[in-house]
Amino acid sequence: MTALVSASSSANSLRQPKSSVLPLPLTVVPPNLPRPTRPIQLLSFDLKLITVNLKLLSSMPINTIIVDDEKPAREELAFLLKAFPEINLLGQGKNGLEAVNLIKEHSPDLVFLDVQMPGLDGFGVLKKLVERKLKVPHVVFATAFDQYAVQAFDVNAVDYILKPFDKARIAKAIQRAKREIDTAVSPTERLEQLVSQLAGPKPASQPNKVLVRSQQRMLLVDAEDLIFASIEGGLISVTARDVEGSSNYRTLEELHEALSSDSFWRPHRSYLVNIHHIKEVVPWFKSSFMIKMDDKKQSEIPVSRQQTKRLRELFNL
C-alpha cells in the first residue's frame, strides 16, 4: 500500500511540474498558427520597387553624339543607330573642337568618335577632356584599320568599330556601353591609359610623304614639295606645290616632328614653312618681317619677334 502511494505521488509530481523550476514549454506559440504577414508584405513591396527601378534604368535613353570629319560616315552611322530605340542622338560634330564643345554642352552617355580627323583628332579630344576636367563619356572609336591603334584599344579594353560600319558590330558596342552605364563603370582611367600609350613613340619610321585631304581625295605629297602649313580653329591646312588641303596631324608640332627639322621652320606659332620655298623676305613695321612663299598665291607669312633672330641666321640678314 505504501509503495502504491509513493508511485501515485511520483506520477502526480510529473504531471504538475513547478513553473518556477522548469522552462516554459515550446508549445506556448503553437506552430500551426499563422505567422505575421507584415514583414513579407514589406519585402514584397521592396522587391516590386527594385524591379520598377531596374525597368526604368533599362528603359532610359542613351544620350549619344557622333563626331566624324566625313559627312557620309556621319550620315551612315546616324542611319544605322535608328535601329536601336535606346539611342537618343543629341547631335553631330565634324571635328575635334566641335566634339569637345558638344560633350561639354550635353554631357552625353556615349560618343562615337572618329580617330583620324584634321586638327584635333579623337585622341586629342580625350586629352582635352581630361585637361579641362570634364566628364568623360563612354567612347566607341570609329577607325579605318590601324593595327597599332587596334592593339592599343584591345590592351586598354576600349571599344572600337571599323569602317565601313557593320550593324552587328555596332549592336555589340551599344550593349557593352549599356552594361557599363547601368553599372556606373567609369571609362576615364582606361581612356587616360590609352592616350598615354598612343602618345608614346610609335614603331613606324618618319614618313617621307604627307597625307593631304583635298576635295574628297587623299593625296600623298612628298615632304620636299610641301610649301607651308598653317593652323586655325584646330584645323591644319597644307599648301604644297600642286595641291592644297588639310592634314590629319593634330598640331603643327606633330607635323614638324614628322618632317625634316633642317628644312622646316616655325616663323610663327600658327605656321610651319619649308625654308627652301621662301621666295622673299619683306621688311615690315618696327623692325619686323614677313616672308613671301613661292606658292601660286605667293602667300605672305608673318615672322614673330621671337623668331626674327632665327630669320637673320637663316639668310644672314
**Per-residue cell: 212:** 593631304
**Per-residue cell: 102:** 558638344
Q: Are residues 189 and 273 in the same domain?
A: no
3-state secondary structure at position 284? coil
83-111 in b/e form (b: 16+ CB < 10 A) is ebeebebbebbbbbbbbbebbeeeebbbb
pLDDT digit string, tens, across residues 224-271: 999 999 999 889 999 999 999 999 888 888 888 788 667 899 999 999
- The residue among 199, 227, 251 that closes a domain is 199
Q: Are residues 247 and 183 in the same domain?
A: no
Q: Model's pTM, two decimal places?
A: 0.49
Conformational region of residue 123, where left means phi above 0, alpha means psi within -120 to 50, and beta covers everything else: alpha
For residue 228, list its beta bridge partners: 239, 273
The CATH number for 129's domain is 3.40.50.2300
Torsion sign across C-alpha atoms 6, 11, 14, 17: negative
Measure the CA–CA gap between 115 and 117, rounded to whole angstroms. Answer: 6
Measure the CA–CA gap between 276 and 65, rounded to whole angstroms. Answer: 44
Angstrom distances, CA of residue 66 to CA of 74, 93, 94, 99, 160: 7, 6, 9, 8, 13
pLDDT digit string, tens, across residues 133-161: 888 888 898 877 555 466 656 555 578 88
Measure the CA–CA gap between 116 and 68, rounded to whole angstroms. Answer: 8
Domain count, the chain: 2
The CATH number for 307's domain is 2.40.50.1020
- Give the distance between the most distant pair of CA atoms in the chain: 147
Confidence band of 123 (pLDDT split at 50, 70, 90): confident
Confidence band of 207 (pLDDT split at 50, 70, 90): low
